[in-house]
Structure 1
Amino acid sequence: KLDDVEIALCLNPQLPIEDFLATLCSELGVGLPNEPVAVENFADAMQFLNRSMTLGKTLPLKSRLDALNAYLLHTHAAGRRAVLIIDEAQLLSREVLEQVRLLTNLETTRRKLLRIILVGQPELRVTLARTDLRQLAQRITVRYHLSPLDRYDTYAYIRHRLRVAGGREDLFTPKALRSVYRHSRGVPRLINIVCDRALLGAYTEDERRVSARHVEQAAHEALPEPHPRQRLTLIIGLLILMTLIGIGLWPRYAEPLSMMAQSVAALIIPTGSRKADATTRLPSSPPAITTSSNLASLLPNADEATAQRRLLALWNVSLPSISRNPLCTQVNAYQLRCLTGRSHWDQLRRYNRPALLRFKMTGGTTAPVLLKTLYQDAATLEIGQQTVTLPLAQLAPWWTGDYVLLWRPQISEDLITPGSSGPSVRWLRQQLAFANGQPIPQAPDEYFDATLQEQLQLFQRNQGLQSDGRAGPRTLTILNNLVSSPDDPVLSVPREAPQVR
């Protein structure tokens, strides 16, 4: 509890305007206009209560707002702040949301008298993106979206909850933790449901630790069945190719449509599948897998300048040998952008671009390693002047998870958000339509509305991205892969992993 803050909490958002304001006034202790009543017995108390309830239903909105404004001015003069928290705000009606906007008009010449916090499910973002609510959306100064946790944050979250509850942090086996993430996809509410049911299952079997089997059974009982991955995009693509062949346009469009088919195939093949689509580009001959013992001797020979130069060469770019500007600043002149972060192999497959990885060395330092080819279970790396191919399982202890890759944007904006407009939004609609196997609109709307945001969020969830409904660099990188230039380098995914000699 904060001593200098008055908090009003609205837990039922499905109220008409009158009841919503009555709740706000009641939570803050705002007195409504009324004549004093002497309460001496039970009959007087019932009469006073009935009169108060009647007054609450008939009191004009202006009287409520005047009383609220007077209270807020008094609170401000006393050096205190008033905060309204509305839970499940995605359920607020259009009329109540308009009233929320009007409440933001209660202010002095220097500051707002009432701070409002809207807490809700992801549908709240869709609601606020509506055109008729843009004035309310424009008054929101701070937004925070709790996105799904990644694999490692999921593990840390589970261990934290166990530690706070006084339990052992290793109560879930490593395989059980991986299973929890696979079923929950990092959504905290689903993590809680699966873990709670798994703990109950282990308890009923008198087991001291939760195994992957307990998690699998818990997910089967507590979570809905997942929907099968749709293959409509590939089917439509094949029909287009067959049609072009039939009408004699194949020679003209063979190369660009081939690139399109490769990108679509990479997007719709499930992560971890043991077989890639036939349209995926294959290396001429799989290299032999070397041993991890060679890696330790090669890492000291890696240097930043060579690794960056080799990455740029894949993009047919040659930078001056001496420059004080960082790599990501220099590549802007070549219409390239940097994408940096910490991720895992599956996400790098979706980006499908060569990348500079950071590998651990003795003494706490790291070395730059160029990832050139990513197979199902192995990767080809360039370290200094040497090229090696190693199993992903052996690379796991070396890679920090950090990466830097380059991508070539097809539009001028690096971020497209709800409320944006122009050619970038038109391009986004076309790319999403193509990714979803829908007819590509010839003259799409150039305004980023709620419908487009829902489509983008679905695409982001399918690609393992943060489903915030904003097309940032990570989302744009994958969207660019739908139809990219034949000259852009990719991480080829062979049909079969290279063989050990």
Structure 2
Amino acid sequence: MYLEYYGLEQAPFSITPDPHYVFLSEHHRDALAHLLYGIQQGGSGGFVQLTGEVGTGKTTLSRLLLNRLPENTHAALVLNPRLEPVELLQTICEELRLPVNKATPVPPAAPASGKRKGKAAAPAAPRATATPGGKALFDALSAYLLAAYAKGDRVVLIVDEAQNLSTEALEQVRLLTNLETETQKLLQIILIGQPELRDTLARPELRQLAQRITARYHLRPLDEAATGAYLRHRLNTAGAKRFPFSQDAVRRLHRRSGGVPRLINVVAERALLGGYAHDLLTIDAKTVDRAADEALAPSSAGQRRELAKLFVIGGLAVAATVLAVVVARPDANRPASAAAATRTAAASLASPSPAPDADALLQRLRTTPAASTREWAALVAAWKAPAALRTVSPDACPAVPAPGWRCLRSRAQLEPLLRIDRPVLLRLRAEPQAAWATLLGADARRVTLSLDGAPLTIDRVVLAGVWNGEYLAIWPAPATLETRFAANDAKALAWVRQRLPAGSAADPAAALRAFQARAGLRGSGALDADTLFALTAGDPGPHLSARTE
């Protein structure tokens, strides 16, 4: 019905998982990085725990994880954990294709003594069969893990909906971590579940298991900017040539759904139907409200309000324990996302150093001279900036360091910086020391930097432990552009509009707010330095190292 009306080739908001529609927010990328990181660290034997509210994308992440497993990694995925301990073992063995799931013959019972002579013996009962017992399954799994270890392979157990595991089954899972050699655990276990899983593992009788959890990540709902990006991604994937939701509609949709992707799908689908029924080319906030009233159960309103509160309170918190890093293949299973967000800098580097672990990185930061300006000099040279910039200190870079040039010291998450696709300096800290490193590129798991003139590659998780989002950027831009734009100067308005996507709103402030929402910036509608830097992403100048010119 509404597909042709809105120029769509297929329904964009189906709640059935479809890999073509996968959208990874910053939080989803962090969560996936933690899962992949835990697998690489498999020898430590710790559990990795991922929790999140219903509909936030945990199962989608588990499917992505299976598609991006490192080479020589075998995985057992348990989708229905409502099992007795022996059934759980049998399911794991079946997932790993161990030949222990066949029934084994049970010998017939011995004939009873004292039978009368002259009477025919009773016909023998059919031979019964029985499934292997817990010990046989455990022994078979142990032999399999030892064989995998001998070949240099990893084995991972992923339990989805782990909040449904019984106490006995959780204890069985814990016992699996006892399968080890003298130096290494043989099985890495990932528990994925709803927030109730955290409460379950806090019980005193499960403290032994809880103490073995070495990494925790709680997947939070999308914020408003990510909700808008999510809607655009799904509509673009479905073939949309224009974005049918107004900015107010996006804001209202985020509020009514609490930022939960599954609920966003439900409300957005209903809103498109409502817009079609009322001949609306642009969905407004009232249409979203009507759709939410019809599609969302009244009993879930309180839950959605709580989700919204949780996001506001803890949206910037990263509940994770930083682990040591194991080198992974730099180009393996690269995600199919846009432009620089999926690039790796390996293509243009002579030979990046192996990924250091967290302790080694901290030590390297502490030994980097605090006054080192190598990265600043390299950034100035990459931009072919005037000589006046070379004498400027990056720690005290003015907003206009030279005529026609800008310097910005701000904070951002990694993904927006990757979308801008420019080398910038990141402020890395290993108290009491701090040093500037140049962002060169990244993929789904790792980030490539230059520190004191030497390239290095680290996991995103390790970067989060030394970087709080502070960065520094330089680029050429017309003078006083922000004030001229605010005063509706025709040349300034034209400069900005040339850099906005085709089809942007006629109102400059509205067009800029939409751009800021897509770029993950504060949607003020005003031209500030952060927005100015993002707008110049397509202008001439250096890009991340793997960019093909």
Structure with the larger RCO, 1 or 2 (CA within 8 Å, 6+ apart):
2
Whether TM exceeds 0.5 here: the answer is no
TM-score (norm 1): 0.43
TM-score (norm 2): 0.39
